[in-house]
């Protein structure tokens, strides 16, 4: 009997390339998903997911952006009343436009707004219970102190304020529209 020689067939290079052609796109897709998740997670929490974000949104829209977005900073139950008060029952344009114009006279146009929360403490169970009378879905009420710095073409000014903010669901809201600010020395 003759022996048939055993011939080793080298592995085909094509299989390596086929594996790479599969692995590389999958890795790229996974990488894109991870990057998107990292970038989108903060925005998924919402514009009012913290006291800082709420107050920045409110004062940014009041002094520099879109006045029509101010009601978004309040719970649904308060928005119609806010609209009525801010326009004196629909008789005039928004009184908040006057606030903006006064600030433009003081600091100039192209106003940049910076809000800094200086204190943020739980308002307590008594305040929560009284707030829940008007806003039943409220889960937390905090008392905050904050500074608002406005910088325009002609200068800047810093004001300070104190107010309660209310958490409803995962978002924070202002449950009053009478926010008094005092100029800081």
Q: Are 168 and 181 in contact (CB under 8 A)?
A: no
CB 145 within 8 A of CB 166: no
Q: Which residues pair with 152 in a beta bridge?
A: 155
Rounded-to-integer distance, Cα 121 and Cα 107, Å: 32
Q: What is the average per-residue pLDDT within 137-144? A: 98
Average pLDDT over residues 179-183: 90
Q: What is the pLDDT of residue 49?
A: 95
Residue 43 pLDDT more than 50? no
Q: What confidence score (pLDDT) does residue 74 get?
A: 95
Cβ neighbours for 80, distance < 8 A, ≥ 6 positions apart: none
Q: What average pLDDT does this structure show over 95-111?
A: 93
Please check the confidence at residue 31 and state whether its pLDDT lies above 70: no
Stated pTM of the model: 0.73
What was the pLDDT predicted at 42?
Answer: 43
- Looking at residue 1, the DSSP 8-state letter turns out to be -
55 pLDDT above the threshold of 80? yes
Overall average pLDDT of the 3-15 stretch: 60
């Amino acid at each position: 009997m003759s022996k048939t020689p055993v011939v080793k067939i080298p592995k085909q290079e094509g299989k390596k390339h086929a594996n790479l052609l599969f692995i590389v796109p999958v890795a790229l897709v996974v990488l894109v998903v991870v990057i998107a998740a990292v970038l989108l997670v903060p925005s998924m929490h919402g514009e009012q997911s913290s006291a800082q974000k709420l107050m920045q949104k409110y004062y940014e829209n009041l002094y520099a952006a879109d006045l029509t977005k101010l009601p978004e900073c309040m719970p649904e139950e308060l928005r119609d009343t806010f609209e009525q008060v801010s326009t004196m029952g629909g008789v005039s344009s928004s009184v908040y436009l006057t606030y903006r114009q006064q600030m433009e006279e003081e600091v100039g146009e192209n106003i940049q707004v910076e809000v800094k929360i200086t204190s943020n403490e739980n308002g307590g169970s008594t305040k929560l219970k009284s707030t829940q009378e008007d806003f039943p879905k409220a889960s937390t009420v905090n008392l905050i102190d904050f500074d608002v710095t406005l910088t325009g073409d002609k200068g800047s000014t810093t004001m300070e304020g104190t107010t309660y903010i209310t958490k409803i669901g995962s978002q924070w809201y202002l449950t009053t529209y009478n926010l008094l600010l005092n100029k800081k020395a």
